[in-house]
Every structure is written in C-alpha cells, then in structure tokens.
Chain A
Amino acid sequence: MDLDAILLQVLNGLDKGSAYALIALGLTLIFGTLGVVNFAHGALFMVGAFCAVSLQKLLTISAITIDETKTDFLGNPLKVKTPYVENWFGEAIGQGIIDWSVPLAILLAIPVMLIIGIVMERGLIKHFYKRPHADQILVTFGLAIVIGEIVKASFGATEIQVPAPEPLSRVTDVGALLGMGDINVTYPTWRLVYFAFAMLVIGVIFAFLRFTTFGMVVRAGMADRETVGLLGIDIDRRFTIMFAIAAVVAGLAGVMYVPIKPPSYELGMQFLVISFVVVVVGGMGSLPGAVSAGFLLGILESFASTNWAKEIIPGIDQIIIYVVAILILLTRPRGLMGRKGVMEE
C-alpha cells in the first residue's frame, strides 16, 4: 500500500468513525451520569436521519399547475409540479432551500431530539434507575424495536435517498487541502464536512462539560454518583438534560449521515451494536475513550475492507470490530481508558 492508499483508507475510516464516536459519546454520557444502559440509542440516531428525510419531503410538497402550452406524451395538458417554497421565495432561493435540506434539518432535529429525549427520560428511563441492568437493557431494547417500527410504518421499509447540497456533493482534492502537492487523493466533500461537523460537536460537548458549572456537576456525577446526590444538587433535572443532550448528539449525527448512507428503519440497530462495542473498547464511562475508540474502530474497519487485507484474511472486514473488542476486553477488561468499578456488579 502506498501513502495515497493509506490516506484514502484513513479518510474512509474517519467518516464512519465520526458516526461511531458521536453515538458512543451519547451512550457514555448516559452510562456515566444516569447509570443506564440505553439500547435505544441507535434508534435516536436513526430518528435524526429521518428528520432530514422529513424536512426534505416537507420542502418538496408541491403545488400542481397545468401548463396549457405544453402537452405530455398522451396529448393531455402538462401538469407541472412546483414546490411551494419556490412559489413563495422565487425559484432560485426555493431551489437553494431544497438543495440544502440536509444541513437545514439540523434546525429541525435539535428541538425534535430534545423533546424526544426529555419525554423518553421522564416517561420511561427515570423509572429504571434503580432496576437491574438486565431490565434496562430489555426495556430500551423493546423501545428500539417500537421506534424502528413506527418509522417503518411512516416511511416504508426501503432506504430513502437525500442528497448533500450540490456544492458539497463533489470531490475535494485532499492533497491540495492539506497543502501537500505530492498527495494525489480526492475524496467526497460531504464526508469531509461530516468529519468536521463531528469534531465540532465533540468539541462543543467537551467544552460544555469542562467550562460550565453544569458540566462540572455532571463530571463529578460521573466520577461518583452517590456523593453528588448527597450534595443536595438537583440531580434529577440535570439527568434529564444530559439525556436530552445525548439524544440531540445522536440525532445530529444521524441528520448529517443521510447523504453518506441513505437511512432505513434498520439503520439504528446496525449502528447500535457497533456503538456498544465502541463504548466497551473505549472504556465504560470514559468520554475520551468513547471518542477515540470510535475513530480507531472506524479506521480499522476501513483498512480491513481493502482487498489487500481481505486477501490475507478473508472476511476480516466483517469481523474486525468484534475481534478487536474481544481482544481488548480480555487483555484490558476495563477498555482502553475505563476506570475501575464502572458498571460492574
């Protein structure tokens, strides 16, 4: 493998790794603060993706007008569909809005995910703080099925394509971007955008936890839940907010992932299993662990999918993540950056 090929695989790993990292980050926040194992977290990622799908559908709702001057192939007057947004804002702006529906969906996803997060925590998760982990796993597993099925009933079972904004759906010359002329790699722009977006979200979350009082309490809570509870701080409300934030992070990760992988109702479960593995590899309860393990596994997976790797070990691309997870759990039972005593009976 030459340098170009290696760089290409790293890039390939970064966008998948970004999604893993964002989901694992939310999972870890929930583990760490609430002490709850949330099997429905992948479903939240999927719901985010369908926020983008819904917005695009909403924006392309069209008025039908009849153009008398033209006829269709049957000789009838031609029906022209014009999206309302084009009628309201003029054709150019209207087209632009529709074209940018994926990034715009962020504005929709934030309030939607906040509400879903709050409702989920207040209505369901709250009652499971004191129940055994097995019950938490089971009830959120059931919820994941329910969310998936509701999406299936509303949007159908097939994958739905929503493209990235046209200016961002081309390829970027990575060599030029990095200022290295001798690297000859082009890469889809949107995937680079996704990586940048993920870094931004991760940065915001870490800054929030580090520099705000709220974040300080949360970190203290992750270190020692019982003591913080004894301080008389209103932990309940903070738990709700933390859960909602985790939901928003998963949702945003889903929104922006739509142009990379067209979502279907099964998307949640596909990512959930891997995200759990990511959390375990990173170390239960460790935020930096979750993020770095997300990227690490994403990149490993992408290298394992090259023909070069598959020739050495057939099928390695399918199992690499699990193999790594098993090896890490056996050699470093607490994961790469895990602390003692988190989630152990």
Chain B
Amino acid sequence: MDLKYTDEQNAFRKEIRDWLAANVPAKPLQSFDTAEGFEQHREWEKKLSEGNWGLVTWPKEYGGRGCNLVEWLIFEEEYYRAKAPLRVNQNGIFLLGPTLMEYGTPEQKERFITKMAAGEEMWAQGWSEPNAGSDMAAIRSKAVRDGDDYVLNGQKVWSTRAVFADWVFCIFRTDPESSRHKGLSFILVPLDTPGITVRPIPQLDGLPGFAEIFFDDVRVPLENRLGGEGEGWNIAMATAGFERGLMLRSPARFQETAKRLVALYNAHRNDILDLSIEDKVVKCFMDAEAYALTTYQTACRLMKGGKIGPEASTNKIFWSELDQMMHETAMQILASRAELLPSSPAAGDVGTWLDGFLFAQSGPIYAGTNEIQRNIIAERMLGMPRK
C-alpha cells in the first residue's frame, strides 16, 4: 500500500489543472435543460474533445487517453475543483460508449463512437415505460422486423436529455411472444426520425430535463441494433453496471460539495442556533471522504485485475443519500432564504444550493431506486432468500 501519487500522476494533475484554468468558461453556462444552455454545453464538449480531455478513460483507439482509474479520479478532482461545466452527454460517454466498445460491431464503433468522442452527437436514454419502471422487464414497446428495418411502436418515459439530444438508445421487445427478460433488443434511434414525438416533461426546477417519447411506426435499419436480437436485457444490465458502478458518480463531485458546505457553515456559524448543524457538516465531510477512499480502493483493486461485484450496489445508496444530506444541511444553514431562487434580489449567497437540493431528490430514485438497490445487496451480496 502506498497512498502517495507518483511523479507522473502529479504531472498529469498539473497538466489538466493548467488546461482547465485556461479553458473553463469564466461565466457559468446556462442549464443544459434549456435550448440555449444545451448548445453551450455542446460547444464545451467539443472544446474538451479538441483538448483531448473529453474521454480520458476511453482507449486511445476510440479517441480517449487510455487513462487508468486513478488518473480518471485525478481528472475528476481537477474538473470539479475548476467548476467546469457538467457533462451534457453523460448518457452517451459514460453509459452507451463503454457498452458500444464491448458489444458494438466495428461499423457501429466507427459510426457512433467517433461522433460521440468529437462531442458532435448527444445521447438520451430510453428504457423506462409507463408500466416498466423499477420492473424494467415489463417493457412492451415493440420492434417488428420488416425487410431491412425494424418498425418501432410504443412509448418511453423519463428519458433524460431527450428534449434536445440527437439520438436515443432504447430497449424494445423484438419477440412479441416473449415475456420478461427474454426477447428484448437494444436499439439506437435518431430522434429526428419521422413518427417520433418527444413530449418534454418539466422537472422540479421547471425545466424539461426529461421527456416522454412516442414511437408511431418509426423505421430504423436492422444495423442499429446493438448486440444480438433478444440479447437486450444482458446488454442493458452491463450498461446499468457502468451506471451504478464507478463511472457516473465520481467522488470529486461530492468532495467539492462538502468543501463548499464547510465554507457555507463557516460563513454563517454565528447565526446558527441548531447545535446539530455542525455535527452534520462534519458527518457530510467524512462521508464524502469515505466515498473517495472507497472509490480509490476499488479503482486500485480493479487496476490489479480485481472485479466489481454485487457490493457496487452499495455505492449508489451511499452517494445518493450523502448528496441529500449535504443539501438538506445547506438548506438548514440558509434558513429562510433557502427557498429563494438565485435570481431573487434578496438571494445573497444562496448560490446553487437550491438547484443541488432539488437534484439531490432524484438521486435515490434514478438508476434503480435505492429500495431496488437494497434488495440487490440483500439477495446477491448477502445471500438472503428471494422467496
């Protein structure tokens, strides 16, 4: 065990720090859930790509830097430290990208990965349906073969970024006789295809962060299927593994929030009457630290050939509940100004805590609710009986 960065790692940190200092926009971008903000973030993705900082962990052959996981952690630490824009294409680069690398044909990799890496095509996710939420195997949207095409019919919901994205990766039922996990296929669909209607769904902040997508005789070529016909479930599970595992929620984000929370507490400490607040601030900081240490330990283990096991389900519970606790504590500190939007004249230093607080409410719900995660932990990690 050696918990010191190597000279190369320190040099890597300096390189990214310098690049970000020179390139991160001075003025924060608008929310990517607005038309204008989405385009601003698309430009930022292109800029990252030009600097070859868009996809540090991707292999070099796909336009990445081939960084190992510790380098990825360092990159993320610097990224959040520099307050660089959120990644508008995270569905693409963190979920679909690794899935394409594993299951895509050479033509699919060439076609989709290149444009994703260049920051040119933005992706939405289309899995959930009105009657297939936590019970994802209940998917009913259909893809029926017709010549060289699939004809798609049905409805997807809670599709993040679908309002402004270019493509959506979906799961459809290709075998009408099948049920549950069998007979599903993973299909990539351009969102401007005739027959598609995207109905924006405003989120808690009033912005259309996700959407319903209606498919009415939508035709896509067979080669838009990722993996074999009927293998959609397994591929989706692999994708969800990327989502739940390391890649989507790097510790740096929570450490940065924890650091801001300490600063917020210090700025208000003379006005705080609730003695438990300081304890919560310390607890938040420790838990963010614990999340970072655990991620580093996992990353180092994986670099030595270890595998991610069912214990990865504990990650999602830990970070989502930590995110809630941090923002709840910030709201308590901000007290009667906590409800104010930053645009209010009296907002003062409320900053983006309210945005973060609203977003934190979604953490325990998306990517498999925390109740589902607890079932997975109990059954697959601890071995408790299903029936």
Q: Does A associate with B in a complex?
A: no
Q: Which residues of B contact A (CB under 8 A)?
A: none
Q: Which residues of A contact B (CB under 8 A)?
A: none
